[in-house]
Chains A and B, each alone.
Chain A
């Protein structure tokens, strides 16, 4: 039996807030935990597996303090795999593996952050000398610079244009206009995007993801538990992980480790790109989406710019509707981490619970892809393929 057959996603919840000045980070984790469990018809008392990344506050940057805060007394399995914004996508597949191995039955996965009204997350601790070297910080370069360098090289090698990158943002804004909780409600045109202020040429402000407070949670349970609940499960058909490292300073920014995680997920799921009805793609920047779509094989390498034109990504009738909640570009990017919202929107699509106007008809198979870390240095990818339960 495929390990993934043993477990299903049964609960999902996205915090409706985007600016939460009066809530602590732990409170947001707790609210989304209760929300996702309620969606499943479960309570905190049912949880025996707990998965979260370093966005959790308190002792050790992991699960211990949050478990204490939530009063989780029955834990038999804990996992604090940290992979940047992609962490929750790892957590879902790790939870499925733990459930298949009999280590737990009800796995809770939470993510939260409040960079908009609180403090910026500390990341991986103090910078080491080599970090400043790698990022070129002493020459005024930072994270956004490396994505701009990636976009520039992609434009040079493949003829990609700013207008093509803008198509990605336009699709996200159209989707967000159907989402009453979305941070940005206004539909933008290609012209609006390319006329927005330059942040790091060739990237404009509208090419960059939002900074929002908030979070989300997902509950993964055994088939047996799911049968006892009155909620539509979502199947985990396949998943793949990969890492792309610096290789002594030889980092080609025009591709991501999706080139490895994608085929692993497709193989396990036994499906191809042609079977995918909806995609949730990590969207830290428009260039991130473009490269991932190419790397996952939705088009040839270098064809991403042409692929996203003419409404390809626009729901419900584009060839490949993406991020129908508005994504990190227009809806929500809580705590600089877009992983959990990507899973949640795929679950909504497969259950037929997406916002009116963006529900993909007959959505049976969805792909979720997350990037963790920085395209410019070391990064990791998680791809997951989900299916509607028959």
Chain B
């Protein structure tokens, strides 16, 4: 993979979103949570879209969710991913509510929607640790 092209697709680390990336590096999914109404949000935002409070904390969340939808990219959409096609994307509804797009770290035998998943952390080509999802363990447990 073209690492320079890939890194352009990564969100810049800002003072506001740094706790998210620190969490990934530490193997923990952290979301912003409104101090006033208690709602989680993703991505990070300066105010709560529910109550406009600017007071929020970063909390480690369950890291569990379900596959709300998936698709397989066949088109060479980004130069960085030109050699990766076809690759599968999942849209995961976290137990706390927000949805996150990422990839599956493993390929389950059978993929279906609403399958439970849990977050896993993998280093991306440039080294930044990103959240991915796994159906491992949970499939048999579910």
Contact = CB atoms under 8 A, between A and B. Distances in A.
Interface stretch (A130-138, A230-238, A349-357, A359-367): A130-138
A200 interface: yes
Contacts of B40: 248
Contacts of B84: 140
Nearest to A152: B69
A225 interface: no
19 contacts: A130-B17, A133-B11, A133-B42, A136-B100, A138-B6, A138-B9, A139-B103, A140-B77, A140-B89, A141-B73, A144-B75, A150-B69, A153-B68, A200-B71, A246-B49, A248-B45, A249-B97, A249-B100, A253-B69
A136 B11 contact: no
A202 interface: yes
Interface residues of B, number: 46
B43 A130 contact: yes
Interface string B67-88: 0111111110110110010110
Given A139-B89, A140-B103, A201 B71 contact: yes
Interface string A139-155: 11110111011111100
A130 B68 CA distance: 21
A247 interface: yes
Interface in A141-195: 141-142, 144-146, 148-153, 156
B44 A130 contact: yes
Contacts of B43: 129-130, 133-134, 249
A130 B11 contact: yes
B61 interface: no
A137 B9 contact: yes
Nearest to B31: A249
Contacts of A156: 69, 113
B64 interface: no
Given A130-B17, A136-B89, A140-B103, 5 more contacts: A138-B10, A139-B101, A149-B71, A153-B68, A247-B49
Interface residues of A, number: 39
B30 interface: no
A137 B68 CA distance: 18
B121 interface: no
Contact of B11 (A132, A146, A249): A132
Contact of B49 (A144, A150, A152, A245): A245
B72 A200 contact: yes
Interface of B: 6, 9-14, 17, 39-45, 48-50, 68-75, 77-78, 80-81, 84, 86-87, 89, 91, 97-103, 113, 124, 130, 132
A138 B43 CA distance: 14
Contacts of A198: 72, 74, 86
Contact of A140 (B13, B39, B87, B99): B87
A146 B69 CA distance: 10
Contacts of B100: 136, 249
B102 A139 contact: yes
Contacts of B41: 248-249
A203 B124 CA distance: 27
A197 interface: yes
A251 interface: yes
Contacts of A146: 101
A142 B81 CA distance: 11
Given A136-B89, A141-B89, A249-B42, A201 B74 contact: yes
Contact of B91 (A132, A140, A149, A248): A149
A316 B41 CA distance: 48
Contacts of B99: 249-251
A150 B113 CA distance: 12
B113 A129 contact: no
A199 interface: yes
A255 to B, nearest CB: 14
A138 B86 CA distance: 16
Given A138-B124, A150-B69, A200-B72, A248 B98 contact: yes
Contacts of A201: 71-74, 86
A131 B81 CA distance: 18
Contacts of A248: 39-42, 45, 48-50, 97-98
A138 B11 contact: yes
B40 to A, nearest CB: 7
Interface in A237-280: 245-251, 253
B102 A136 contact: yes
Nearest to A131: B11
